[in-house]
Amino acid sequence: MTRPGPSWQRLAVAGEIPARGLLFTFRDGPFSSTGILLRDDGGVRAWRNECRHLAVRLDRETEGSLFDRDGALLMCQVHGALYRPGDGVCIAGPCAGSRLCPLPVRELAGAVWLVCDELRPPLSDP
């Protein structure tokens, strides 16, 4: 595909994703949800902003704070579960071994897009 589809949502200019990630809101069926957009050596990734232990936003207690003190791992601000940003796997906490729910994103025409027609419901288990 050479251009974004009609159900795609523009999230960011490709070169302007902050190092600490970008929170965004998207339509999730009849509801609104939040996602986390990150860039790393492997390209762009997006995850549902939802802890796998409890269905709460990772940044619930501290709006916008997604990472641990070192800035290396995504952290649930409610109970401290730690997730690797590259693959979304929880490496510490009550949901260790589970994985954040990925969101379908594409880099195209200098922007990052959420491919809404490829959205899937959150995973029910790890």
pLDDT digits (tens, 9 = 90+) for 91-118: 999 999 999 999 999 999 899 999 998 9
Sites in the chain below the pLDDT cut of 70: 1-2, 61, 122-126
- For the domain covering 8-116, report its CATH number: 2.102.10.10
Domain boundaries, the chain: 8-116
DSSP-H helix ranges across the chain: none
- The Cα–Cα gap between 111 and 4 comes to 10
Q: 52 vs 12, 84, 113, 115, CA distance in Å?
A: 26, 13, 24, 22
Task: Give residue 59's identity as a one-letter amino acid code.
Answer: D
